[in-house]
Amino acid sequence: MREPIRVLVVDDSALIRQMLVRALGLDPRIEVVGWARNGVEAIEQSRKLQPDVITLDIEMPELSGLEALPHIVRDCDARVLMLSSQDDPDITYQALASGAVDFISKPRGGFASSLSELSDQLVKKIKTAYRIDPTKVGTRPAGPPQLIEALTSAGGVTPHRSTVPRTGSNDSPAQIVALAASTGGPPALERVFAGLPQDLPVAYMVVQHLPPGFTMSFANRLARISGMPVVEAEDGMRVRPGHGYLAAYGRHMVIEGRPGRNTTIRLLDEPPVHGVRPAADPLFFALAAEYADRATGVVLTGMGTDGAEGLLAMRGAGGHTIAQDEDTSVVWGMPGAAVKLGAAESVEPLERIAVEVRRHIRGEA
């Protein structure tokens, strides 16, 4: 018989703690081993109990979840899930950059949903987190000090801006780079975007699996880090070189138009693919059809298989395809599926992906 997943629940609300404990108690694979009311107690309990997973509220008295997080990941091998509201998405991304593996979005009115819905969400997240290698948890991104500061700063950052003029704003891109990610994706995408060039006629399109209310904030974060305009995609939006586009929650993102010919974003209300919407595969298939060898596809860390089949289509159409390697992936589900399918032309550690993208698009542009 498998050992249960040992969970520590941290929240300053007694009602929410009770609801979380009840929800988790419905699954025989999960055992709640303790609870804490604030960040100070969370640090003490994590050291004492050494749980497998911690659900950590962000906003708490005495010591917030964000303040407690570095101490927890330093002294404990637990995978940390942040409990976040739509009012503080940027703080949530700071937590992910500081060692949390994922987050659970609180409805604006608190946990007013039914116990069964709450249980389904929590149990899925906890089981996913439990599969993550603890040695990949709690470490800040490697790289230059200014990059690390950019990824964890609470305020805005001063982005590096290229001094080379870009192609005129009325032109469509000559190339498109599409990136897909899920669990562990936000810090990985931040790392990659910090190294992408904006002085070439290239546009960047991103599918990151996020809950509602978090897409626009993440687009703004990528813009601050990269120094290029990054926006939440809208239906009918023209794709411009030197710009980034993040798929909106709840709709698949595809493109229409050939290189340099009025390329346009289309948002589709079609059924979820691999259980998610937006999914990477629709975008990758569209790029294979429209941009062929003028497209680059990148699959980063994430649970599941989304992006593998679409990446294979891109490679078959002559596009350049990259998958993140297992050692640097928080979860090697999506990139691993792409590798096993033969869809990845190259397999790179996270710190090399932006370099590989630059090398390819500069050679082709």
Could you give the residue numbers annotated as active site?
Answer: 182, 209, 306
| Structure tokens, 308 | 């593998």
Cα separations (Å) of 359 from 138, 180, 340, 355?
A: 31, 19, 24, 6
What is the sign, positive or negative, of the torsion defined by CA atoms of 315, 211, 303, 278?
Answer: negative
- Phi–psi pair at 362, nearest 5 degrees: -70, -35
How would DSSP label each residue in 126-185? Answer: HHHHHTS-GGGSS-PPPS-HHHHHHHH-SS-------SSPPPPTTSPPSEEEEEEE-TTH
Which of 154, 134, 149, 166 minimizes the C-alpha distance to 67?
A: 154
- In the numeric block, the tokens 């081993």 are attached to 33
Distance from C-alpha of 192 to C-alpha of 186, rounded to nearest angstrom: 10
167: left (phi over 0), alpha (psi -120 to 50) or beta: beta
Which of 86, 33, 21 minimizes the C-alpha distance to 58?
A: 86
